[in-house]
Chains A and B, each alone.
Chain A
Amino acid sequence: MSTRLQTKGRLVNRDRQISFSFNGKRLKAYEGDTLASALLANDQMLVGRSFKYHRPRGVVASGAEEPNALVNLGEGHRFEPNARATTTEVFDGLKAGSQNHFPSLEFDVGAINQHLSRFLPAGFYYKMFIHPRPLWKHVYEPFIRQSAGLGKAPDAETRDPDTYEYFHAHTDVLIIGGGVAGLTAALAAGRAGAQVILCEQTADWGGRAAVDGDEIDGMPVEEWIKNALQELESMKNITLRTRMMGAGVYDHGYVLCYERLTDHIGPSEGPRHRLWKVRAKQVVTATGAIERPLSFAGNDIPGVMLASAVRDYAINYGVSAGDRTVVVTNNDDAYRTAIAMLDAGLSVPAVIDVRATPDTPLIERVKSRGVRVMQGMAIAKVKGGKRVTGVSVCSQAGEGAVLEDIACDVVAMSGGWSPVVHLWSHCGGKLTWDEAGAFFRPDPTRAPLSFDGTPFVIAAGSANGEMDEGAVLADAYTMGQEAAKRVGATPKGAAPTAKDTAQAPLLPVWMMPQGASYKLRSKMWLDYQNDVKVSDVQLAAQEGYESVEHTKRYTTLGMATDQGKLSNINGLAILAQELNAPIPQVGTTTFRPPYTPISMGAIAGEAKGEIFQPLRRTPMHDWHEAHGVYWEPVGHWRRPYCYPQSGESHEDAVNREVVNTRENLGLLDASTLGKLIVKGPDAGKFLDMLYTNMMSTLKPGRCRYGLMCSENGFLMDDGVVARIDDDTFLCHTTSGGADHIHAHMEEWLQTEWWDWQVHVANVTEQYGQIAVVGPKARDVLQSLGGMDVSKEALSFMGWADGTLGGIPVRIFRISFSGELSYEIAVDAGRAQELWELLHANGQQFGVMPYGTEALHILRAEKGFIMIGDETDGTVIPQDLGLHWALSKKKADYLGKRAQQRTHMTDPDRWLLVGLETVDGSVIPDGAYATGEGTNANGQKVVQGRVTSTYYSANLKRGIAMGLVLNGPDRMGEQLTFLKTDGTAVHARIVDPVFYDKEGVKQDV
């Protein structure tokens, strides 16, 4: 059984006991424990079930590479799946649970799959579920979704109560990894005077050196770490962050770092995670190395662990994984585990070493303590179900004939170490194969390149392929200095030193025994999480999947949440063997960020709740809100849709607003309209090119409606242009067009007509704009006083400056409703004041505010088009009968040439008409008019579609506009529009102007 040892554990505080729960069971831990160490201390070796076969899974590693110990954390609104127990720090009250089992971790019915494994080989899903096609959607997919997946997705109704944030940091050098290599590199760069951020993903500095190292600079490793930290903390140019992982390296020194602020203390004030967006001139990856498992039958049974993890738990946390540990290895390093177990007073029945190697100091030390070292041997299979009970030993050279059984409850395996090259590789750093260590290491001649073609990532220490402590320190110091040099600093100081322990060469062994039968190979796990075995990769190779990327996808090797940190090299070595190719020729799969999964919250940053998105408010926003507005989102703006009175439906409110505006007086908040000042000696010429009609002939003091087309001829915006003086125009755009038309103007001025003397300024937000509309509009303005608004002084399509009720205004006599109408621009700071004044004085005239829906209906009654309703990016002015707005005098305007192309002049283009339903009902928006017969696709032929459709409370019937084949020539003809419920509605083609065809009402 696994348990807490008498020895102290360097990272736990034995004076502070805390309690947590696992699957509802209350357990004890110490401050400083990870969830994995705490579970092991409570003899909870079994922590989950695998993805495909639901095999029992135990803790295998002690860090970020852990594939098995994935748990659910928290509950309710804070529930989070797939947390790695090895990187989760335990806090008092933490709640964790195992995943991917039913009904319980101990008894899981899904485990039946492992007995069916013969029928579930690599590529099973592809082969099985591809035919018959329709079954995929309705049978296979729902079934697979049910049975697959590890953690559950959080309940859709839950809302994460925590906050998250970004932090943008710029620095000379970012060093990722706070082991002795990272500390050393930071000393080197820091002493040189470079600005440095050093981040470490765990809570503790020094990495694994304190577990494995002997001495640095003649002092115990822990003491050296303390001193190094002291020196680093004393330097003002160094920022130290723990619990911050380098997640991804991107172009030009952009790096995402993931800082976990409160995960180790549980729910608390302040942001939970902070995503650092670092811009570094140089990035040093001191990310260490990960130990590789060995492939032998039963290597996935709980109790089989990485050799380094076994000693990490003992030395760091004072936890033993079991009483009797058999070490199995192809290198010297694993002998340290035997020593650590002996030091902890535990038993090591044997070290099984595949090599036949002369004694080195490490081997000698183990032997001298009476441990049996079995050379040239291998594990034939591991015995046990939910827990290791022993191993059967065989000769590595043979086919697995069992020579003897050894009882044990832990198997500590080591297949050598692989540098963590992920961050080096994210942005294109290339690798080279190291024969001696049997691993890929960064190739410094092919580093990721920055904007100027110079390298910007440097690997240091074990991450750079240096595995001996002395070499690690020397390399890290050199690389720290190199980073400093590249940012213009001058290196100084000397590297720390350590004595290397002589070690015998590693023997690359990818499978044991080397002649293992299929039966054994189909029990050798490569990918613990996704259940990919040696036999699966071999099958893929046999079936022709020669590319490592194809094999990965076919077998799902390395595609689980651990991204193959343990399985990658072993898997591709098996593939290489099977293809009879050298490993470097087979190559690796692509390393992609993030290094380990980061939270969705961190990615979203501060964007939640009130600040999820910017919400644009007009100057009268608060008034609308106080007067019962029903909002309509218009881009980021909120605009009043209508103002329902008590008990009124939105529909009733709209109808009331429409009628009142025609009969009395309406107020509309039109502040969102774009307002662009175009000024300069060439302004008229410029606007003549932008608008389809003539603007240069407009007189100061007058307004003109204009259309704007893209160079492809399609309508893109419309609005009223007012000429302010000889050189100055004010162009109104649609609300959505304000920024985009501004950019459109700047683009033409900057790229095409750069020599024209024109300036543009966007003054959209300088003004609140209030439309005062209805037969009593003049009365209310006159009641405020300040300027002459009579027909004579301010005629239709004129504008004037003045004051209203003492407030400076500019009034445009323009109408989008067909009524007598004044649009009043007022400084935003006084817009609500003027609105309130108009509202108060308007009471005697029956004033009511109206919203965007009433605005739409009023304009539709008049047959006025709306950009975005009548246009959709494929419509030209000619389609809408707007020929009058297309200047024939101008030599050119944007879109003119395009409008002369054959498709644009095709007589069969659908043209704008009005539509009046026979029964007075409202046609559904977007409905199509049917024609005769069917088209080539067997669909009904159509001959028109509805672009705008409303109930007109003034006309007491449904009205619509639409684009219809030869429409204007077919007045009075009846069309049939299909509804989605299968019924149809009939409508007559009529003139699109339904109300006041002569236009007398707006010109009074």
Chain B
Amino acid sequence: MSEAVSALKSAEYQGFARVSECGLRGMITVRGDLASRKLTKAVEDATGQQMPKPRMVNTDGPSGIAWMSPDELLVMVPYADVTGKLAQIDKALAGEFAMAVNVSDARAVFALNGNAREVLAKLSPADMRRSALPAGEMRRTRLAQVPAAFFADADDAFTVVCFRSVAHYVFDLLKAASDPSSDVGYF
């Protein structure tokens, strides 16, 4: 064994939605002035993605930028590249009042396919209607008793992010919520 491992080693479950742990994803928390051109350039160069508007996330495969708060971004890159990307961002931000921190291993990431909105609506108080949470919008919220964030792509497949220590709990929650005999028929 010489590779970094994710919390659940790509566990899967098929209910009325499919739950899959995605393995490790490179994640860098960036804090600073989001209006700064230097910071914008730094994260755009690192990801090839555009700076998102408030609450939004721009992604392409494993690379992306998510707006987390008025002074925080989540930069996503392939896990293998994270050390290099972090150094690149640090260098670009030299002299700027900003922070970039590697949080890749602090997270667990799940993919939800199928009627994901219904699964998430059982666990999160967020408004899961397409009109309220369209593709490309990030929601920082909770799943049952723990913090989590999620966003959808155009096909309504959701990416769910939580803390690594509760990966097991969140997987169990998603499993229970997507139990085949429990679909709600709301979305």
B181–A269 CB distance below 8 A: yes
B-chain residues with CB within 8 Å of residue A274 when the two chains form the complex: 184
Q: Which listed residue (A611, A616, A765, A827) contacts B4, Cβ 8 A?
A: A827
Give the complex CA separation of A268 and B182 in angstroms. 11
Q: Which residue from chain A places its CB closest to the CB of B108 in the assembled complex?
A: A765
Task: Give per-residue flags for A253-277: 1 if the beta carbon is below 8 A from chain B beta carbons, else 0.
Answer: 0000000000000001111001001
Contact status B164-A619, CB under 8 Å: yes
Interface size, chain B (Cβ < 8 Å): 50
Does chain B have a CB within 8 A of A167? Answer: yes
List residues of chain A with CB within 8 A of the CB of B106: 763-766, 828
Residues of B within 8 A of A757 (CB): 97
The minimal Cβ–Cβ distance linking B160 to chain A, given in whole angstroms, is: 15
Question: Is B157 interfacial (CB-CB < 8 Å)?
Answer: no
Contact with B along A586-614 (1 / 0, CB 8 A): 00000000000000000001110011011
Q: Does A133 contact B (CB under 8 A)?
A: no
B residues near A677, Cβ cutoff 8 Å: 99, 101
Q: List chain A residues, Cβ under 8 A from B182.
A: 163, 165, 270-271
The reply on B20 being an interface residue by CB < 8 A is: no
| Interface pair B176/A766, CB less than 8 Å apart | no
| CB contact list, B121-135 vs A, under 8 A | 121-129, 132
The reply to whether A614 and B105 form a contact with Cβ atoms under 8 Å apart is no
Q: List, in ascending order, chain A residues with CB within 8 A of B71's CB.
A: 759
Interface residues in B1-47 by Cβ distance below 8 A to A read 1-2, 4-7, 24, 29, 31-32
Check B109 for interface membership: any CB of A closer than 8 A. Answer: no
**Contact of B122 with A606 in the complex, beta carbons under 8 Å:** yes
- Name the A residues within 8 Å of B105 (CB-CB): 765-767, 827-829
Q: Given that A829-B5, A830-B4 are known contacts, is A168 also in contact with B103, CB under 8 Å in the complex?
A: no
* In the complex, chain A residues whose CB is within 8 Å of the CB of B2: 806, 833
Chain A residue nearest in CB terms to B29 = A761
Whole-angstrom distance from the CB of B173 to the nearest CB of chain A?
6
Asked if B5 contacts A611 (CB within 8 A), the reply is no
Q: How far is the CA of A167 from the CA of B105 in the complex (A)?
A: 31
Complex CA–CA separation, A279 to B6 (angstroms): 36
Chain A residues 154-176 with CB under 8 Å of chain B are 163, 165-170
Task: Mark out the residues of chain A between 813 and 830 whose CB falls within 8 Å of any chain B CB in the assembled complex.
Answer: 827-830
What are the residues of chain B within 8 A of A655 when measuring CB–CB?
Answer: none
Residue of chain B at shortest CB distance from A614? B169
A203 → chain B closest CB, angstroms: 17
Question: Which has the most chain B C-beta neighbours within 10 Å: A614, A618, A680, A757?
Answer: A614
Taking CB atoms, residues of chain B closer than 8 Å to A270 are 179, 181-182
- CB within 8 Å of A: which B59-83 residues: 71
CB distance from A267 to the nearest CB of B (A): 12
Distance of A611 Cα from B144 Cα, bound (Å): 9
A830-871 residues at the B interface, CB under 8 angstroms: 830, 832-833, 836
A630 CB contacts on chain B under 8 angstroms: none
Chain A residues with CB below 8 A from B184, complex form: 167, 274
Q: Which residues of B contact A767 (CB under 8 A)?
A: 105
**B residues 145-164 with Cβ under 8 Å of A?**
145-146, 163-164
Q: In chain B, residues 85-125, which have Cβ atoms closer than 8 Å to a Cβ of chain A?
A: 97-99, 101-107, 121-125
Q: How far is the CB of A229 from chain B (nearest CB, A)?
A: 16
Partner of B129, one of A170, A610, A765: A170
Beta-carbon contact of A765 and B165 below 8 Å: yes
| Given known contacts A165-B177, A606-B144, A614-B146, A637 and B103 CB-to-CB distance under 8 angstroms | no
Q: Does A239 contact B (CB under 8 A)?
A: yes
Is B168 in contact with chain A by the CB < 8 A criterion?
Answer: yes
Q: With a CB–CB cut-off of 8 A, which chain A residues contact B169?
A: 611, 614-615
Residues of A within 8 A of B (CB-CB), count: 49
Q: Are B144 and A616 in contact (CB under 8 A)?
A: no
Q: Is the CB of B4 within 8 A of A766?
A: no
A901 / chain B contacts, CB cutoff of 8 Å: none
Cβ distance A243 to chain B, nearest Cβ, rounded Å: 13
**Is the beta-carbon distance between A163 and B186 smaller than 8 angstroms?**
no
Residues of chain B lying within 8 A (CB to CB) of residue A833: 1-2, 5
Given contacts A167-B121, A269-B181, A680-B97, contact A615 B4 (CB under 8 A): no
Q: Is A681 an interface residue (CB 8 A)?
A: yes
Cβ contacts under 8 Å, A169 to chain B:
121, 186
0/1 interface trace, chain A 721-761, chain B, CB 8 Å (1 if under): 00000000000000000000000000000000000010101
By a CB distance below 8 angstroms, the chain B residues around A277 are 125
Shortest B105–chain A CB gap in Å is 4
Residues on B with C-beta less than 8 A from A614 are: 144-146, 166, 169
A449-465 contacts to B, CB under 8 A, are none
CA distance A956 to B97 in the complex (A): 55
Q: Is the CB of A679 within 8 A of B99?
A: yes
A897: B residues at CB distance < 8 A: none
Contacts of A764 in B (CB 8 A): 106
Chain A nearest CB: distance from B32 CB in Å?
Answer: 7
Q: Which residue of B lies closest to A274 (CB)?
A: B184
Q: How far is the CB of A896 from chain B (nearest CB, A)?
A: 28
Interface contact B177-A759, CB-CB below 8 Å:
no
Indicate whether A888 reaches chain B with its CB closer than 8 angstroms. no
CA distance A806 to B2 in the complex (A): 9
Residues of chain A within 8 A (CB-CB) of B122 are 165-168, 606
Smallest beta-carbon distance A476→chain B, Å:
24
- Which B residues are in CB contact (< 8 Å) with A77? none
Contacts of B127 in A (CB 8 A): 168, 170, 279
Known contacts: A168-B126, A613-B145. The answer to whether A759 contacts B31 by CB under 8 A is yes
Closest chain-A Cβ to B87's Cβ sits at a distance in Å of 13
Distance (whole angstroms) from the CB of A115 to the closest CB of chain B: 53
When C-beta atoms are compared, the residue in chain A nearest to B179 turns out to be: A270
- The verdict on A78 contacting chain B, using a C-beta distance below 8 Å, is no
Which residues from chain A contact B129 at a C-beta distance below 8 Å? Answer: 170
Residue in A610, A761, A830 whose beta carbon sits within 8 Å of that of B103 in the complex: A761
In the complex, the answer to whether B6 meets A761 with C-beta atoms within 8 Å is: no
Q: How far is the CA of A170 from the CA of B165 in the complex (A)?
A: 31
Bound-complex Cα distance A832 to B9 (A): 13
Q: Which residues in A have their C-beta under 8 angstroms from that of B102?
A: 763, 766
| A970 contacts chain B at the CB level, 8 A cutoff | no
Shortest beta-carbon distance from A170 to chain B in Å = 4
Q: A interface vs B, CB < 8 Å?
A: 163, 165-170, 239, 268-271, 274, 277, 279, 605-607, 610-611, 613-619, 636-637, 677, 679-681, 757, 759, 761, 763-767, 806, 827-830, 832-833, 836
* 7 A-B pairs with the lowest CB-CB distances in the bound complex, closest first: A829-B4, A270-B181, A765-B106, A828-B105, A616-B165, A269-B181, A759-B99
Give 27 A-B contacts (CB < 8 Å), ordered by A residue: A167-B122, A168-B126, A169-B121, A169-B186, A170-B127, A270-B182, A274-B184, A611-B172, A617-B7, A636-B166, A680-B97, A759-B71, A759-B99, A763-B103, A763-B106, A764-B106, A765-B107, A765-B163, A766-B102, A767-B105, A827-B4, A827-B104, A829-B4, A829-B5, A832-B5, A833-B1, A833-B5
- Chain B residues close to A by CB (< 8 Å): 1-2, 4-7, 24, 29, 31-32, 71, 97-99, 101-107, 121-129, 132, 144-146, 163-169, 172-173, 176-177, 179, 181-182, 184, 186
Supplied contacts A168-B128, A617-B165, A761-B99, 18 more A-B pairs, CB within 8 Å: A165-B176, A166-B122, A167-B184, A168-B121, A169-B121, A606-B123, A606-B177, A611-B169, A613-B145, A615-B168, A616-B163, A617-B167, A677-B101, A759-B71, A759-B97, A766-B104, A827-B104, A829-B4
